[in-house]
Amino acid sequence: MVNATEMAKPFGKRPAKWLELPSTQLFLNELETVRKSDSLILTEEGRNGGTWMHEDVALEFARWLSPAFAIWCN
């Protein structure tokens, strides 16, 4: 699992905003089907809390964080 909260900080963004997007929901639904898992995102509250993502989800999240990274991936 990758700490998405820490990934997002340098970009001034929050994982919750990305998770609200309809395109994100479509992606997650498809990935859950392919991976046969619904444990792709973990959110912990509190002092040491944050949002953790499966590596496949984190890669898609990184594409949203950085258009330059998204282009590099293509």
pLDDT computed for residue 20 by the predictor: 97
Q: What is the pLDDT of residue 46?
A: 85
Distance from C-alpha of 30 to C-alpha of 47, rounded to nearest angstrom: 32
Distance CA 10, CA 72 (A): 19
Backbone angles phi, psi at 31, to 5 degrees: -65, -35
Q: Give the model confidence (pLDDT) of 8-60 as tens digits.
A: 999 999 999 999 999 999 999 999 999 888 789 999 988 888 999 999 999 99
Give the predicted TM-score (pTM) of the model: 0.90
pLDDT at position 38: 78
- Count how many domains the chain has: 1
Q: Which domain holds residue 53?
A: 2-73
